[in-house]
Amino acid sequence: MEYRELGKTGLKLSSISFGASSLGSVFREVSVDACIRTVHASLDNGINFIDVSPYYGLTLAETNLGLALKEIDRERYILATKVGRYGQAEFDFSADRVTRSIDESLARMNVEHI
């Protein structure tokens, strides 16, 4: 796997990222077991950057990702999530909602930082 430095952060991201929308059954129903196996296979093959959103499956993607990452060393992956959209027509970019969204995402994924 090729890795690229993210600006001057010192972070090295895999050139291929894992887009986690499918973990929210966005395209078709996906079992929790399939979600876990897919995330583990991605990490085992060198992917270390995972992109998710609370909007994917209306929080299901973050929840399933949290289950998949439960036993994985936190240093093995870099997470990105989004804020602002929470439902089909529910958008809120206020400071309070952004802060709550981050806290909710952290809890769903069982991580301390994103």
| Active site residues per annotation | 56
13: region left, alpha or beta (phi > 0 left; psi from -120 to 50 alpha): beta
* Distance between CA atoms of residues 57 and 11, nearest Å: 29
Instruction: Assess contact for 43 and 16: CB atoms under 8 A.
Output: no
DSSP letter for 13, please: E
Asked whether the beta carbons of 30 and 23 are under 8 A apart, the reply is yes
Please tell me the distance from the alpha carbon of residue 1 to that of residue 38, in angstroms, as a whole number: 17
